[in-house]
Amino acid sequence: MREKLDKSEKARMDQKIYENFVGLVSYRYADTLLMYYPKSGEVDTLPIIKGALSAGKKVALPVCETAGFQMSYSYIESLDDLERGAYGIPAPKKSCKKFIKDEKHKSLLIVLPALSFDTRGYRLGYGRGYYDRYMEGFDASSVGLVYSRFIVDRLPIGRYDIAADLLVTEKGVKIIEAYK
C-alpha cells in the first residue's frame, strides 16, 4: 500500500513529517542521531539526515550483517560516505567510524523504520528483528516515522519487541512512553 501512494501526496506527507520531526525538542537537543536510509515507500529521511549534518549533529546509519541478522551503526559526514549495503540499502562505508553503543552519549535519538506502528508504539518491521535486537537494553529515546494511515490499533508483539517513545506523522506527534 505504501508503494502505491501518489508521489505528490507522499512528497507532501514527507515534508510535513520532516517539519514535525525537526520541531521536536528531543531533535533540537540531540547531538547524535541514529537514522535509517529510506527504502522504497518509507518516509524519506534524507532531508532530516542532510539537515542534521548541516546543523553539526552527528549522524550514524545502520550496517546490517545478513549472517546472524546483526546490526551496528557507523557515522557519516555526508551521503558520499555511503555504499551499497545489505539488501541493496545504502550503508556507511567500512572506513566510517563506528558508533559505540555502550559509550555514554550526551543526547541521542534513534529513528526507527517500520511498515506500520500501532497506537502503543510497537512496530511491524521486515521480519528479521534487526532493530529489536539492537534496541534491547539500549537507553535512547526512539522515534517512529510513519504515515498516519499506517498506524493501527494493535499489532501482534513478541517478548523481544520494542516500542517507540514517539510517533511522528504528517498530522503531528503522538507521545507513546506513558502507555508502555
Decide: residue 40, CB within 10 A, 0-12 exposed, 13-18 middle, 19+ buried: exposed
Q: What's the mean pLDDT in 134-156?
A: 90
Write out pLDDT tens, residues 39-62: 888 999 999 999 999 999 999 999
Write out pLDDT tens, residues 160-180: 788 899 999 999 999 886 444
Dihedral sign, Cα of residue 56, residue 13, residue 180, residue 99: negative
**Residue 177: its pLDDT value, please?**
61
Q: Is the pLDDT of residue 91 over 90?
A: yes
134 closest CA partner among 45, 42, 69, 46: 69
Dmax over CA atoms of the chain, in Å, equals 42
Q: How far is Cα 146 from Cα 126, in angstroms, rounded to an integer?
A: 14
Residues sharing a CB contact under 8 Å with residue 7, sequence separation 6 or more, in sequence order: none
**Residue 70: its pLDDT value, please?**
83
Numbers of helices and strands, H then E, in the chain: 4, 12
Dihedral sign, Cα of residue 150, residue 154, residue 158, residue 164: positive
Hey, what's the cell of 37? 536510509
Q: How far is Cα 24 from Cα 15, in angstroms, rounded to an integer?
A: 15
Map out the domains of the chain with their CATH numbers: 2-179 (3.40.50.10420)
Q: How far is Cα 76 from Cα 67, in angstroms, rounded to an integer?
A: 24
Dihedral sign, Cα of residue 169, residue 27, residue 25, residue 162: positive
